[in-house]
């Protein structure tokens, strides 16, 4: 059953699919040239495969949503809401551009990345696990570990004659032992952090759905007491998992390198310098962060 989403303009879906910052894994099937994105979305205990295809132009886009027949009205509404959030279709990026075009060095970057928006993770558990796995690792090896974790989960859903891998649920991960992840080349601590986070959700110590109603400060207070979750981890979770618009992970080396490159300075800015410089970017620091990361990536 096809449905539609109409994003605010500009919206460059093909560029978004070519620039995933390694946040996408084997659970996602992408054809950037065709503007097609496919993955399974977990709706409670049910897993629903979805394909999204873009039509139109960057300045007048339409997203066609294709999902299986037989979804209830509430399930269809949840798919629609989830995809709108994942692709940030409601965000007025022109307001971001208006803010940043007054900042030195940003005009060229905006022109290069015009219409680009981050793709949010499909659910909050998946997002936090990816951020934890990515702590202090290069993006290629982090992506490899996520692939292995998906393989260990072993869950697939049939969609258009394809067995589509599914990111494992918190319940499934909570049943694993630390050694299960150690066998996949996870460090001992990282295995503990991932599995303990899953168990905290299953045991009711962490209410992921409840985070949506909390302020950024409240989310820091909720998550940072957990082992393996520090400020940078929550910042990336807020950005990629929750789509909060004004987050600046100033300790991130990629952000610091990108700012050094953008401003042509002879030293990499330190965390306090990044925070001070980025104050002028509010309330769009998350989008500025994403564009900075993207400025380090060469796409043919």
> What's the structural domain count of the chain?
2
Position 300 pLDDT exceeds 50:
no
Q: What is d(CA 113, CA 56) in angstroms, rounded to the nearest whole number?
A: 18
The catalytic residue positions are 252
State the CATH number of the domain containing residue 39: 3.30.310.20
pLDDT tens digits for range 2-16: 699 999 999 999 999
- pLDDT on residue 21: 64
Position 1 pLDDT exceeds 60:
no
Residue 45's pLDDT band (boundaries 50, 70, 90)? confident
The verdict on residue 258 lying in a domain is no
From 48, 65, 90, give the residue that closes a domain.
90
- Is residue 144 domain-shared with residue 66, that is, in the same domain? no
Position 298 pLDDT exceeds 80:
no
- pLDDT on residue 92: 96
- pLDDT on residue 24: 63
- Is residue 85 domain-shared with residue 132, that is, in the same domain? no
Residue 252's pLDDT band (boundaries 50, 70, 90)? very high
- Is residue 70 domain-shared with residue 169, that is, in the same domain? no
Print the domain residue range for 67: 2-90
- Is residue 67 domain-shared with residue 139, that is, in the same domain? no
Mean pLDDT of the chain: 94
- Is residue 73 domain-shared with residue 137, that is, in the same domain? no
pLDDT tens digits for range 124-173: 999 999 999 999 888 889 999 999 999 999 999 999 988 999 999 999 99
The verdict on residue 300 lying in a domain is no
- pLDDT on residue 188: 97
The verdict on residue 186 lying in a domain is yes
The verdict on residue 280 lying in a domain is no
Position 72 pLDDT exceeds 70:
yes
Reading the block at residue 25, the tokens are 């894994």
State the CATH number of the domain containing residue 144: 1.10.340.30
The verdict on residue 113 lying in a domain is no
**HSE of 144, CA atoms in CB hemisphere, 13 A:** 8
- Is residue 181 domain-shared with residue 227, that is, in the same domain? yes
């Amino acid at each position: 059953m096809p449905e539609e989403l109409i994003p605010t303009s500009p919206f460059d879906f093909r560029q978004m699919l070519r620039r995933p910052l390694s946040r996408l894994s084997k659970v996602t099937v992408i054809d950037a040239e065709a503007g097609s994105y496919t993955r399974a979305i977990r709706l409670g205990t049910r897993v629903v495969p979805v394909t999204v295809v873009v039509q139109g132009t960057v300045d007048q886009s339409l997203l066609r949503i294709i999902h299986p027949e037989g979804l209830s009205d509430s399930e269809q509404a949840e798919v629609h809401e989830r995809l709108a959030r994942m692709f940030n279709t409601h965000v007025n990026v022109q307001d971001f551009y208006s803010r940043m075009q007054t900042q030195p060095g940003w005009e060229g970057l905006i022109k290069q990345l015009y219409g680009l928006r981050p793709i949010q993770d499909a659910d909050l558990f998946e997002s936090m696990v990816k951020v934890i796995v990515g702590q202090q690792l290069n993006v290629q090896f982090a992506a490899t570990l996520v692939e292995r974790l998906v393989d260990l989960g072993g869950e697939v859903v049939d969609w258009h004659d394809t067995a589509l891998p599914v990111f494992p649920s918190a319940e499934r991960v909570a049943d694993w032992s630390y050694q299960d992840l150690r066998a996949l080349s996870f460090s001992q601590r990282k295995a503990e952090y991932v599995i303990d986070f899953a168990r905290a959700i299953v045991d009711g110590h962490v209410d992921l759905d409840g985070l949506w109603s909390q302020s950024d400060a409240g989310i820091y207070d909720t998550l940072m007491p957990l082992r393996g979750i520090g400020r940078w981890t929550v910042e990336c979770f807020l950005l990629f998992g929750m789509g909060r618009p004004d987050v600046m992970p100033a300790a991130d080396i990629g952000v610091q390198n990108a700012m050094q490159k953008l401003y042509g300075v002879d030293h990499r800015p330190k965390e306090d310098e990044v925070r001070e410089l980025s104050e002028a970017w509010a309330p769009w620091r998350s989008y500025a962060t994403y564009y900075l990361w993207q400025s380090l990536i060469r796409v043919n």
